[in-house]
Amino acid sequence: MADRETTPDNVCMMQAFEWYVPADQKQWQRLASAAAGLKATGIDNIWIPPGCKAASPTGNGYDIYDLYDLGEFDQKGGRSTKWGPKEDLMQLMKTAKDVNLGIYWDAVLNHKAAADETQKCMAVEVDPDDRMKEVSGQYEIDAWVGFTFPGRGDKYHFTGTDYNAANNKSAIYRIEGNGKKWSDDVDKEKGNYDYLMFADLDYSHPEVKEDVKNWGKWLGTELTLQGVRFDAIKHFSEEFLLEFVEVLDANFGPGWFLVGEFWKDSLTDMCAYLERMHHKFSLFDAPLVYNFSTASTTEDSDLSKIFDGSLVQVEPVNAVTLVMNHDTQPYQALEARIEPFFKPLAYALILLRESGYPCVFYGDIYGIKGDHPFPPSCGNKLPDLCLARKLYAYGKQNDYFDYSTCIGWTREGTWDRPHGCAVVMSNAGPNEKNMYVGIGHTGEVWTDVLGWESTEVKIDDQGRGMFTCPGTSVAVWVDSKAVGRDKFGKFDANIYKE
């Protein structure tokens, strides 16, 4: 008999921060301590927060000041970043490598913040809602675009800013001179969405392009990484991003995982972007997040249509599926409210199906801090859902998306991942579905790994079972004797040691 192919391991990533993580410079330490536990519960890679020096010691890194300062130089109020000093970052890299937990870097390449000095330059004001429309003549402004990096020294070039220190006026200014203009190859929202915030980097300038490419080569040599998350990609040059990806491929091989934040509830625009970028990386499935939000907050929502209009439905290989992130979490600008009862359903939908690369949220694993704290979601069962993905969500998928308030699916298992699973969920009252799990499971007794259903299901001689779920909840059924059942309920979510 010919050798059978080994079933690829299901992988899962975690966004390793939320917006309100305490600014105590201990996040790198916390993640290092949690690394082994995360790996054991089925999380293979973590997307860490922007680790470059921010505008202040409390900045989350999207207010980026210096790409080359990873918490090493005494700049902008201190040496460490919000997340910790460079030494702690390097220890996290070592610890993660030791337990085979991959790390994805969050690259903020669109802009720079907290300039060291103002510089006089010619500019025109543009309409905030149509950046191609000038609303003033050209005049001289005093712009915060002078970056000297006193800790080490450097310089940059910019296309836009949002403040004139000469008259204290806030507006969107397009900087003039030397053929400067907005990048053509950006999203067309607001006419041209090159400018997002702070001092907008000019990727038409060869010095800027060369420096950022060199930074990419330096970063990959300095740190042990398995991938990059690119921030705000619809706001800067697609041509440059392709060149940057080619630099990474040439220096570190094509094995790095690359994902971009193209946050837009437009499937057409997202697919067109992937096409223009030759499918060299993935995108976060923003439309799916909004589907989850609508389903959880709308009476009589139709679960059978939950994937309609999502990226994962049409680009299953290039979609990173998620439920929440730092921008959509409560009290953030892009908040997409998802009711607590729906979180386990949403996570089951991204973790236990065959399409997409799921990303779970730190705030749902460990809870959210800040003025409006939230406990871990899913009744602390999200780690168990991740583990169920790692152990059992393999093989042929049979869908039962045949009723608006109750859907289900099964995974039959494979020759080397034989156990499989059955998932049933309801956004109304308790319900049940008769589903096929495979003739090979005949006679097995299945139970809910989450423990929310206390009954047993015996698989009949047709390979079928009647699987139930509680009201507004989900059940994940697996053979009660399956390898790994003893690993559930063991995750330590007390990352803050409180």
**Residues 437, 420 contacting (CB under 8 angstroms):** yes
Of the listed ranges 20-34, 222-236, 382-396, 408-422, the least confidently predicted one is 222-236
**Residues 130, 191 contacting (CB under 8 angstroms):** yes
Angle at 396 between CA 394 and CA 397, to 5 degrees: 90
335 catalytic per annotation: no
231, 315, 384, 448: which one is catalytic? 231
pLDDT confidence tier of residue 232, bands split at 50, 70 and 90? confident
Distance CA 236, CA 204 (A): 10
pLDDT confidence tier of residue 175, bands split at 50, 70 and 90? low
Q: pLDDT of 398-446, one tens digit each? A: 999 999 999 999 999 999 999 999 999 999 999 999 999 999 999 999 9
Q: What is the value of pTM for the model shown?
A: 0.88
**Taking 60 as the threshold, does the pLDDT of residue 194 lie above it?**
no
Q: pLDDT of 22-68, one tens digit each? A: 999 999 999 999 999 999 999 999 999 999 988 899 999 888 888 88
194, 211, 261, 444: which one is catalytic? 261
Share of the chain above pLDDT 90, in %: 67
3-state DSSP of the chain: CCCCCCCCCCCCEEECCCCCCCCCCCHHHHHHHHHHHHHHCCCCEEECCCCCEECCCCCCCCCEEECCCCCCCCECCECCECCECHHHHHHHHHHHHHCCCEEEEEECCCEECCCCEEEEEEEEEEECCEEEEECCCCEEEEEEEECCCCCCCCCCCEEEEEEECCCCEEEEEEECCCCCCCCCCCCCCCCCCCCCCCEEECCCCHHHHHHHHHHHHHHHHHCCCCEEEECCHHHCCHHHHHHHHHHHHHHHCCCCEEEECCCCCCHHHHHHHHHHCCCCCEEECHHHHHHHHHHHHCCCCCHHHCCCCCHHHHCCCCEEEECCCCCCCCCCCCCCCCCHHHHHHHHHHHHCCCCCEEEEEHHHHHCECCCCCECCCHHHCHHHHHHHHHHHCCECEEEECCCCCEEEEEECECCCCCCCEEEEEECCCCEEEEEECCHHHCCCEEEECCCCCCCCEECCCCCEEEEEECCCEEEEEEECCCCCHHHCCCCCCCCCCC
Of the listed ranges 42-56, 137-151, 315-329, 357-371, the least confidently predicted one is 137-151
> Residue 185 has what pLDDT?
57
Which has more pLDDT, 393 or 112? Answer: 393
> Residue 150 has what pLDDT?
64
Which has more pLDDT, 136 or 178? Answer: 136
Q: pLDDT of 336-350, one tens digit each? A: 999 999 999 999 999
What are 305's strand-pairing partners?
none
**Taking 50 as the threshold, does the pLDDT of residue 1 lie above it?**
no
> Residue 132 has what pLDDT?
79
pLDDT confidence tier of residue 109, bands split at 50, 70 and 90? confident
231 catalytic per annotation: yes
> Residue 165 has what pLDDT?
66
Q: pLDDT of 357-374, one tens digit each? A: 999 999 999 999 999 999
**Taking 90 as the threshold, does the pLDDT of residue 188 lie above it?**
no
